[in-house]
Amino acid sequence: MAKLQPFLRLYRRHCWRLLLGALLAIVTLLASTGLLTLSGWFLAASSLAGTVGLYSFNYMLPAAGVRGAAIIRTVARYFERLVSHDGTFRVLQHLRVFTFRRLMPLSPAGLTHLRQGDLLNRFVADVDTLDHLYLRIISPLCGALVVIIVVTLGLCWLDVSLALTLGAIMLLTLLLLPPLFYRAGRPAGEIITAERARYRLQLTHWLQAQAELSLYGSVEAWREQLNLVEQRWQQAQRRQASLTGLSQALLLLISGAAVTLLLWLSAGGVGDWPQPGALIALLVFCTLAAFEALAPVGMAFQHLGQVFASAERISQIIDRSPAVEFPSEQHDDLSAPGSLALEQVTFSYPDALSPALQRLSLRVNAGETIALLGPTGCGKSTLLQLLTRAWDAQQGEIWLQGLPLRQWSEPALRAAVSVVSQRVHLFNQTLRDNLLLAAPESSDRALCTILEQVGLEKLLDGEGLNAWLGEGGRQLSGGELRRLAIARALLHNGPIMLLDEPTEGLDAETERHILALLAQVTADKTVIMVTHRLQGLDKVDRIYVMDQGEIIEQGTHAELIAKGGRYWHFQQRFTL
């Protein structure tokens, strides 16, 4: 139960709504019990009254009671569904927000061990499973317990021994049946949760890799693996369905035995009535109606195994401590160009064989533009990730505007730094929505101007800013994605700009246009540009050549050419 406590605390926000739903469920159950009990007694009493000639039998009062109970049951059932589901959906809404807020500080360092499909499955399917906790466990058990108490107290007016007998049978059923089927159904529930996650993860990979699987003839082999997972999932579902049927059969057997027992006991007399007559029907129908309240109890705890498994999977990620923690204080100086300094910075990725950066030191003055050059894997992109605090260095210190980077609050750091990342992320939303991520207050005119500046005015044809980009912007080319990322960085307009391969995928003419635009709009900004391409490097203030996480050369374009080192060799190959 400890794993459920963080999620149960979320119920406090909607406790009154959920309590009202449980109360309406109880009213519905009591109205159903009263309806069947009163109807059985009324019909039996009417039959006996007609047989013995008691024409003075008052049928108006019980008939009104039957109608009243039927109306109450219908109205209470409607509002119980309305209130309970509304409360459950609100709890799920807050649960998703709560889970997402705990996930965000973990990214990316705390989530590297998780695949995207698995993370999405925990965030969606496992969170959805937690709604069983109220709808299928808490509310039915509370309703059944109240019905047992009310029915037992009500029948005590007629016969205490019979009332206690029925109450004892129902209470034992409530106490024994759920734990019994929880133990029987927990393995199946855990398997269902695990295999559901595994199936969805493999299905996502299968759909995303259709082209590669087809090219290499591995579609059938992957499909067979998917079928095996699906079969295990379905077998667990069949076991759970069998347990559900068994619980209902056992409950039916217990209710039949209870009805038979009460019928036999009441035949000898009920309370002060040695010849109970219609009271026998009242007891029998009351027993049948009361056991209907126990119908969800048998299978309620079967879902508890799934709930525990889902809570465990969610807790595995939300209980993790963030690898990077920001202070709460706000840094105020955001407008001026920022100076950057790295002193003996060393960083290694988890389980990496060698460090990505080794004792790296460099200084970037305010308003200066530098370029980082080097082979793939030399640590250029890692350096940018450290500057945005996606990771923290194990050794050394990073300074931003004379203040240690660890002392910057997250809002201040995000406002100070504009980033063009190597991998462009687009949401399945409109062009406007994807641009407003960088500057939520921007007008449509400003968005159109930026698109024209980066050469994407053709995206405004047709639906304009309302154009739907699709998942990942799949209808855009690589060059268009890159220019859209540059447009977002320009909209953000931070005093520091980090550019990771800003002209990758662009043709020579577009590259010159983008570099000229960047030179114009970043004239008063501090710029760090990671690149493999040598176009425009003669215009930057300083060039750093990196290899194996270290800076091996630094200087201006002219100085490095005159030196005849690694940069000179790059230039020779580029020229050839």
Closest to 481 measured CA to CA, from 527, 425, 532: 425
Angstrom distance (rounded) from CA 189 to CA 514: 56
Q: What is the mean pLDDT of residues 513-521?
A: 80
Q: How confident is the model at residue 3 (pLDDT cuts 50, 70, 90)?
A: low
Angle ∠(240,243,245) on CA atoms, nearest 5: 115
Say if residues 10 and 254 touch (Cβ distance below 8 Å): no
Say if residues 196 and 125 touch (Cβ distance below 8 Å): yes
Task: Tell me the three state secondary structure of residue 469.
Answer: coil
- Note the helical H segments in 319-464: 380-387, 410-416, 431-436, 444-453
Say if residues 273 and 279 touch (Cβ distance below 8 Å): yes
Side by side, the strands of the sheet bearing 542-547 are 417-420, 496-500, 526-531, 369-373, 542-547, 550-555
Q: How confident is the model at residue 574 (pLDDT cuts 50, 70, 90)?
A: low
Q: DSSP string of 167-190?
A: HHHHHHHHHHHHHHHHHHHHHHHH
Q: Is it the case that residue 2 has pLDDT exceeding 70?
A: no
DSSP 8-state assignment for residue 521: H
Say if residues 503 and 530 touch (Cβ distance below 8 Å): no
Q: How confident is the model at residue 55 (pLDDT cuts 50, 70, 90)?
A: very low
Highest mean pLDDT among 94-108, 263-277, 403-417: 403-417
pLDDT of residue 37: 86
Angstrom distance (rounded) from CA 487 to CA 481: 10
Q: What is the mean pLDDT of residues 345-355?
A: 85
DSSP 8-state assignment for residue 326: -
What residue has token string 């794993």?
Answer: 3
Closest to 281 measured CA to CA, from 77, 68, 49: 49
What residue has token string 């577009």?
Answer: 510
pLDDT of residue 473: 66
Q: How confident is the model at residue 75 (pLDDT cuts 50, 70, 90)?
A: very high
Nearby residues of 94 by Cβ (< 8 Å), 6 or more positions away:
10, 13, 14
Angstrom distance (rounded) from CA 560 to CA 576: 18
pLDDT in tens, 371-429: 998 888 888 888 988 998 888 888 999 998 888 888 888 888 888 888 888 788 888 88
pLDDT in tens, 21-45: 889 989 998 898 888 888 888 888 7
Q: To the nearest whole number, what is the mean pLDDT of the chain?
A: 83
pLDDT in tens, 446-478: 889 888 888 888 888 878 888 888 776 667 777
Which tokens in the block code for residue 115? 């695949």
Beta-strand runs (E) in 328-429: 340-347, 357-364, 369-373, 395-400, 403-404, 417-420
Q: What is the mean pLDDT of residues 189-214?
A: 83
Phi-psi region of 393 (alpha: psi -120 to 50; beta: other; left: phi over 0): beta
52-61, 145-154, 181-190, 536-545: the lowest-pLDDT one: 52-61
pLDDT of residue 54: 46
Phi-psi region of 337 (alpha: psi -120 to 50; beta: other; left: phi over 0): beta
**203 pairs with which residues across the strands?**
none
Q: DSSP string of 234-298?
A: HHHHHHHHHHHHHHHHHHHHHHHHHHHHHHHHHTT-BTTBSS-THHHHHHHHHHHHHHHHTTTHH
Task: Tell me the three state secondary structure of residue 397.
Answer: strand
Percent with pLDDT over 90 in the chain: 6
pLDDT of residue 78: 92
What residue has token string 């889970």?
Answer: 99
Which tokens in the block code for residue 298? 């048998």
pLDDT in tens, 470-512: 776 667 777 788 888 888 988 988 889 998 888 776 777 777 8
Angstrom distance (rounded) from CA 169 to CA 214: 62
DSSP 8-state assignment for residue 468: B
Residue 225's alpha-carbon distances to 191, 203, 221, 233, 238, in angstroms, are 17, 10, 7, 13, 20
User: If 0-12 CB within 10 Å is exposed, 13-18 middle and 19+ buried, where does residue 197 land?
Assistant: buried
Amino acid 193 reads T
CB atoms within 10 A of CB 535: 15
Angstrom distance (rounded) from CA 203 to CA 35: 50
Which tokens in the block code for residue 112? 């590297």
For residues 31 and 119, which has the higher predicted lDDT (pLDDT)? 31
For the chain, domains (ranges, CATH) are 2-318 (1.20.1560.10), 340-575 (3.40.50.300)
